[in-house]
C-alpha cells in the first residue's frame, strides 16, 4: 500500500513539493467520449490499475463505464465511491480463494480466469457468476509485453468454458489482451479471429457466448507516434463483422488510452554531471521507483518540457535520484535536453497519467511515493 495513496489528491495543482503528478479529469472524459465514438457498440471497462484516482473513477462512472479490477483493494475503492458492483469485473487471473469469496460477498459477479484451478475456486466461492476465459493470442509483441504470464491456449479456453457451463457458471466468452501499448492494429484482428474460432466451437456445444473481451493495449503517442483510436477501431470493427456472431457484445478494457494523456509530472533537476565517458547525465528527483517504472527497458519514451526550451540542446542520459544503479530512465534512447539545464530547474514529463503513481514504490531509499493532485475544475 502506498504511504501516500493515489486517492489522497489535492486541489492545488502547483503545490511546492516535487515531484508531483497533476491529473486532469476532463481530459479523461474527453478520451472516453472519443473511444465511445470510435467504438459505439463496445462496453468500455476502465482498467483501474492504470490510475486508481477517486476523481477519475467517479468521472468514468458518471460516463457509464464499467471497471476492470485487479484486487480486493480496487474493488473496495470502487464500491466506496458508489460504483455499482455489477459494473465490476475481477479481471486478474491470479487470485486467492479468499479474495474470490470476498469479492463475491461484496457483490462482484463477473470474473476472468485462465486455469482450471482458478475456475474451480470461482465455482466454489462465487457460484453462478459469469466468467471470461483469457487465452494467449498470437499477436505481435507490444511495447510493454506480458510474455506468457497470462492466458491459456485457445483450445484450452474452449475446454475450460465448456467446463464452466457444466459446473453451473454463466459463460461470458473468450478474452484476450494484445499487450500494453500495442502499436500494430492487426494484433486485434488476430485475437478476434482466434476468439471467433473458440466461439464457433462453443456454439457446437450449444454454448452461445455473451461477449468477447478484447482487453486493453490501446496506445497513445509519447515521443514516438502511435496509431489513433479511429484507425484501430476500424480494424476491430472489420474483424468483429467477419469473425464474431452478431449477438456477441464487444468489451474493451482501456487504461492508458483513457488516462495516459490526462497527467503531467512536475519534477526538478537535482544535478548535472559529465561522466568519465564524456556523456552528460541529468539527474531528476523522480526515477524508476517513484513514478517512472514504465521506463524499464526504455519501453516508454516520455516527452520532457523545461523552462529552458529554446536554448541549445544536446543528448543526455536521464536518471533518477536513488542509489540504485538501475535507476536510469534513458541511456540508449536519444533524449535531447537544453545544455543550460542546472540543478533546481523545473521539468515537466508529459502524458504521465497512466501507470505512474500506481506503480510508485513505498519509500525505496527513503524517497516518498509520487504525490497526486487533481485539477481543481473537477473537485466538488
Phi, psi of 211 (to 5 degrees): -155, 165
Q: Which 3-state string (H, E, C) describes the chain? A: CCCCCCCCCECCCCCCCCCEEEECHHHHHHHHHHHHHHCCCEEEEEEHHHCCCHHHHHHHHHHCCEEEECCHHHHHHHHHCCCCHHHEEECCCCCCHHHHHHHHHCCCCEEEECCHHHHHHHHHHCCCCEEEEEECCCCCCCCECCCCCCCECHHHHHHHHHHHHHCCCEEEEEECCCCECCCCCHHHHHHHHHHHHHHHHHHHCCCCCCEEECCCCCCCCCCCCCCCHHHHHHHHHHHHHHHCCCCCEEEECCCHHHHHHHEEEEEEEEEEEECCCCCEEEEECCCCCCCCHHHHHHCCCCCEEECCECECEEECEEECCCCCCCCEEECCCCCEEECCCCCCCEEEECCCCCCCHHHCCCCHHHCCCCEEEECHHHCC
The residues assigned a catalytic role are: 323
Q: How far, in Å, CA of 346 to CA of 361, rounded?
A: 23
Q: How far, in Å, CA of 306 to CA of 7, rounded?
A: 28
Could you tell me if 251 and 42 are in contact, meaning their C-beta atoms sit under 8 angstroms apart? yes
Q: How far, in Å, CA of 298 to CA of 143, rounded?
A: 10
Could you tell me if 42 and 250 are in contact, meaning their C-beta atoms sit under 8 angstroms apart? yes
Amino acid at each position: 500500500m502506498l504511504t501516500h495513496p493515489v486517492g489522497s489528491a489535492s486541489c492545488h495543482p502547483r503545490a511546492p513539493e516535487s515531484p508531483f503528478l497533476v491529473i486532469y479529469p476532463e481530459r479523461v472524459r474527453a478520451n472516453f467520449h472519443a473511444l465511445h465514438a470510435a467504438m459505439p457498440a463496445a462496453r468500455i471497462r476502465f482498467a483501474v490499475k492504470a490510475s486508481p484516482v477517486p476523481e477519475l473513477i467517479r468521472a468514468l462512472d458518471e460516463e457509464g463505464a464499467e471497471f476492470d479490477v485487479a484486487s480486493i483493494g480496487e474493488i473496495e475503492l470502487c464500491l466506496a465511491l458508489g460504483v455499482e458492483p455489477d459494473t465490476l469485473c475481477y479481471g486478474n487471473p491470479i487470485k486467492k480463494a479468499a479474495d474470490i469469496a470476498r469479492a463475491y460477498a461484496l457483490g462482484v459477479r463477473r470474473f476472468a480466469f485462465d486455469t482450471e484451478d482458478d475456475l474451480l475456486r470461482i465455482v466454489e466461492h462465487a457460484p453462478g457468476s459469469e466468467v471470461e476465459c483469457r487465452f494467449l493470442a498470437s499477436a505481435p509483441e507490444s511495447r510493454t509485453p506480458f510474455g506468457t504470464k497470462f492466458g491459456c491456449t485457445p483450445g484450452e479456453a474452449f475446454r475450460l468454458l465448456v467446463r464452466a457451463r457444466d459446473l453451473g457458471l454463466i459463460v461470458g466468452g473468450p478474452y484476450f489482451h494484445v499487450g500494453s501499448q500495442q502499436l500494430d492494429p492487426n494484433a486485434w484482428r488476430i485475437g478476434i479471429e482466434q476468439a471467433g474460432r473458440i466461439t464457433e466451437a462453443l456454439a457446437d456445444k450449444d454454448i452461445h457466448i455473451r461477449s468477447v473481451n478484447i482487453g486493453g493495449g490501446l496506445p497513445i503517442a509519447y515521443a514516438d507516434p502511435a496509431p489513433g483510436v479511429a484507425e484501430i477501431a476500424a480494424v476491430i470493427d472489420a474483424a468483429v463483422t467477419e469473425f464474431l456472431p452478431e449477438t456477441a457484445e464487444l468489451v474493451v478494457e482501456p487504461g492508458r488510452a483513457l488516462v495516459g494523456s490526462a497527467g503531467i509530472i512536475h519534477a526538478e533537476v537535482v544535478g548535472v554531471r559529465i561522466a568519465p565517458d564524456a556523456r552528460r547525465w541529468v539527474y531528476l528527483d523522480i526515477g524508476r521507483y517513484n513514478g517512472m517504472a514504465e521506463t524499464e527497458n526504455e519501453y516508454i519514451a516520455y516527452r520532457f518540457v523545461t523552462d529552458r526550451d529554446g536554448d541549445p540542446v544536446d543528448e543526455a542520459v536521464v536518471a533518477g535520484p536513488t542509489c540504485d544503479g538501475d535507476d536510469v530512465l534513458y541511456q540508449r534512447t536519444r533524449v535531447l535536453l537544453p545544455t543550460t539545464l542546472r540543478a533546481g530547474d523545473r521539468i515537466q514529463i508529459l502524458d504521465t497519467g497512466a501507470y505512474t503513481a500506481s506503480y510508485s514504490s513505498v519509500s525505496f531509499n527513503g524517497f516518498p511515493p509520487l504525490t497526486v493532485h487533481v485539477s481543481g475544475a473537477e473537485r466538488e
